[in-house]
Amino acid sequence: MPLRIAVFGQAPFGRDVSLRLAQAGHAIVGVHVPPDGGGKPDPLAAEAQARGWPLFRYKGYRRGGQAIPERVAEYRALGADLNVLPFTTVILPPEIADHPRHRSVCFHPSVLPAWRGGSALAWQIIEGAGESGISVFQPDAGVDTGPLYLQRRGVEIGPADTAASLYFDKLYPLGIEAMVEAVAAIDAGTATLTPQSETGASFQGLLDDRAARLDFRAEAASLDRRIRGCDPQPGAWALFEGEAVRLHGCTLALDARPAARAEAASGQATAPGTIVAVEPSGLLLAVRGGNLRIAKVRRGEGAKVPAEASGLRPGDRLV
């Protein structure tokens, strides 16, 4: 029997999961999306408006640590059998999360209990994980600690993967199918829940500018992973003449000959963070143990541009 579903989510993933659930015959009785931040309209919100799904735009559902009564009442009036959380940054109070007869089901882009937290994609790359996967679970009072409906693992994190490519090219399609499968099992009464083990559990905080700051004392491989993990957001960064420079499209080149040529020309060692070449394919940055090729750059509050058009030149040094 089709379910009455309340969706709490955003972005293309939230839209695509909702569309698949509607196509499966479930009734979308409410869509909760955070307010737009001034950029492009949210795809899930736009889809809800186009299809006439009741749309709610709230930043949160708590005030002073307590559930907001009028929002709880508004939600409960929808009569949902299940909450689906395909891509959400909102922590729901138990008055909402646990209210439906099937409670809630949530997507997470890692194989839990590893990589709990809101920046799991980035940290898997930054910390050098070789594989990723997805988890579908029932939220509880913790952060990504609830019992599991299903998991998919064995997704390779390649040497060129960014947070964006890992998500959109690999985990996104896998996650949609897993969410649809979990909801189908809940509807059929065949779903099972398995408590998460704490063996191998880890939690990483949200990836902010502090975590995205580059430290050129680190080796090439570590810097490469940080840049790729922070790509596209927030963008790993360093300073040039007091201006933040964010680096995107990084590839690792362990061959240090360009830096060696720069050393020979200058008669002194090339300091890590020094640009040794600017080419159509990107700028080459000397770091400990190799070079990094950077395809695109964003300076200050400007737009992301090809590195060749960034105004940075050989001999400039990022710190």
* Domain co-membership, 16 together with 119: yes
* Domain co-membership, 156 together with 54: yes
* pLDDT per residue rounded down to tens, the chain (319 residues): 899 999 999 999 999 999 999 999 999 999 999 999 877 899 999 999 999 999 999 999 999 999 999 999 999 999 999 999 999 988 899 999 999 999 999 999 999 999 999 999 999 999 999 999 999 999 999 999 999 999 999 999 999 999 999 999 999 999 999 999 999 999 999 999 999 999 999 999 999 999 999 999 999 999 999 999 999 999 999 999 999 999 999 999 865 555 555 554 554 579 999 999 999 999 999 999 999 999 999 999 999 999 999 999 999 999 9
* Domain co-membership, 277 together with 176: no
- Residue 33 belongs to some domain of the structure: yes
Compute the distance between CA of residue 154 and CA of residue 98 in angstroms, rounded to an integer: 31
Domain boundary among 141, 158, 188: 188
Instruction: Go through the chain and tell me how many residues it has.
Output: 319
- Residue 19 belongs to some domain of the structure: yes
Q: Residue with structure tokens 């708590």?
A: 62
* Domain co-membership, 30 together with 173: yes
* Domain co-membership, 214 together with 182: no
Distance of CA 160 to the CA centre of its chain: 16
* Prior bond of 234 cis (ω within 30°): yes
Residues 6+ apart with CB under 8 A from 180: 17, 20, 21, 24
* Domain co-membership, 183 together with 267: no
Predicted TM-score (pTM) of the model is 0.92
Structurally, the chain folds into a number of domains equal to: 2
Q: Residue with structure tokens 């007869």?
A: 101
- Residue 299 belongs to some domain of the structure: yes
Phi, psi torsion values for 23, nearest 5 degrees:
-65, -25
Q: Which domain holds residue 303?
A: 209-309
- Residue 28 belongs to some domain of the structure: yes
Query: For position 235, which CATH number holds?
Result: 3.10.25.10
* Domain co-membership, 215 together with 273: yes
Q: What is the pLDDT of residue 264?
A: 47
Q: What is the dihedral of CA 121, 127, 130, 136, to 10 degrees?
A: -30
Domain boundary among 188, 219, 235: 188
Q: What is the pLDDT of residue 267?
A: 45
Domain boundary among 137, 155, 188: 188
* Domain co-membership, 120 together with 22: yes
Provide Rg for the chain, Cα atoms. 23
